[in-house]
Chain A
Amino acid sequence: MVKINGELLEKDGKTVTEMLADMEISGQRVAVEINEEIVPKAKYDETILKDGDRVEVVRFVGGG
């Protein structure tokens, strides 16, 4: 199980790209951290979620 934004989900083995697609989130408007470390955008396709990972998906919305 992977904890995504505080919620336990069965996303083990998925890549960051696949996780974002499941969440219907555009990769252009997010920042993703796994276990307090930023995941570089260029590594979304190759970074695989592991059991016990704590993931933060920060979605940005417009306005400022």
Chain B
Amino acid sequence: MPIPSREEMYSALEERHGTELQKKLDSASVAVCGLGGLGSNIAIALARAGVGYLHIIDFDRVDISNLNRQQYFPEQLGEPKSEAMKDTLERLAPYCHIKADNIKLSEDNIPALLSDADIIVEAFDKADQKAMLVNCVLENMPDKYLVSGSGMAGIAPSNIITTKRITKRFYLCGDGVSDVDDGMGLVSSRVLICAGHQAHAVIRIIAGEFDI
């Protein structure tokens, strides 16, 4: 079956989200940094909601160990995650403008690379890299909104995962304590909860609803 036209896709979204919100989503730009369990799910949620521009970034390749929670297919093993995710996003949201970068973010390239997005999502897996990105954005890019995730490993209860507004433009999702380095693995359902918190924080920021 041929895919629907841009207008058909847009009006289906408008019907669900309302004209005003869909207009805001359509003109929003979001960078998703890291495309693992958090980032792949966040990118999909945002693309499905009709966010107009997504900049997706990862330097890694799809590995068999990712398949328990990350939105890749077995036939994509070995592909750069940025490319594999772009293919998936283009299938489910064919009119979303997607920029995919297969690159490792660092303090040197973050300000230039992420300048195209109004909202930056931190979705890394290593704690020191999360801190690096958050500090770099907060220090150098004060106009951006930043949504970070920390603490979603293991099978602790869902309800201790929260969204906190740390400062005016910095939101933090997760339980803050469940560390993958403590030996607890990452479980799809709980990573999805944190990813859902992050994606929803982004949607609310786009909507102009800043409270938590």
Using a CB–CB distance below 8 Å, which chain A residues touch chain B? Answer: 28-31, 33, 36-38, 40-41, 56, 58-64
Contact = CB atoms under 8 A, between A and B. Distances in A.
A64 B38 contact: yes
Nearest to B70: A64
Interface in B140-160: 148-153
6 contacts: A28-B128, A29-B131, A30-B131, A31-B138, A59-B176, A62-B125
Q: Is the interface of B mostly helix, strand, loop or mixed?
A: mixed
B139 A58 contact: no
Given A28-B131, A61-B178, A56 B166 contact: yes
Interface residues of B, number: 37
A61 B36 contact: no
Contacts of B176: 59, 61
A28 B119 CA distance: 24
Contacts of B149: 64
* 5 closest cross-chain pairs (CB), A and B: A63-B180, A61-B179, A64-B125, A38-B138, A63-B153
A64 B32 CA distance: 12
Contacts of B127: 29, 60-62
Given A28-B128, A31-B131, A61 B168 contact: no
B167 A33 contact: yes
A38 B135 contact: yes
Interface in B99-138: 123-128, 130-131, 134-135, 138
Contacts of A28: 128, 131
